[in-house]
Amino acid sequence: MSSGREYPARPLVGIGIVVLKPPHEVLLIRRGRAPMLGAWGLPGGGQELGETAEAAARRELLEETGLAVGELKLAGNVDSIDRDAEGRVRYHYTIIDFAALWTGGEPRALTDAAAVTWADLRKLDDYALWSEAHRIIALALRAFGLETG
């Protein structure tokens, strides 16, 4: 086992953030590196030593998209465990997801984001999102009392 992201000795803490732009949009990024290289998903990344979860969410959003947001609400958590062909744990993240409302600015693909878009909540199937991303987006909408209809 290594102490890095791949084949870790213990689970790593990941942070995700759902940025909602009422009435029907959510911010998505196309991942520019592993894990899930090229896949669309929520902005986020690893929490750093000495950093609060909320500060990590704000930092990751700013680093990946150039956006800052106001109030954060805890949306939920995800256990992301990826095994290789031999069954060894290749990646293991406990992901803490926050939700926020867009407050202004245009997102840009920065750092490890290859692309960024405002996705229509009613057309999320166009992005082949991980099932857990759908679940967390639904929890974020609920946290702010928003409907997708």
- Provide mean pLDDT across the span 24-35: 91
Domains of the chain plus CATH, in order, are: 12-143 (3.90.79.10)
pLDDT at residue 98 is higher than 80: yes
Residue 149 to residue 139: CA distance in whole angstroms: 15
Q: CB atoms < 10 A from the CB of 73, how many?
A: 15
Name the residue among 26, 29, 63 with its Cα closest to residue 48.
Answer: 63
Tokens linked to 17:
């953030």
Predicted TM-score of the model (pTM):
0.91
Q: Please tell me the predicted confidence (pLDDT) of residue 2.
A: 53
What percent of the chain has a predicted confidence (pLDDT) above 70? 96
Residue 24 to residue 138: CA distance in whole angstroms: 12
pLDDT at residue 149 is higher than 60: no
Residue 51 to residue 53: CA distance in whole angstroms: 6
pLDDT in tens, 113-133: 999 999 999 999 999 999 999
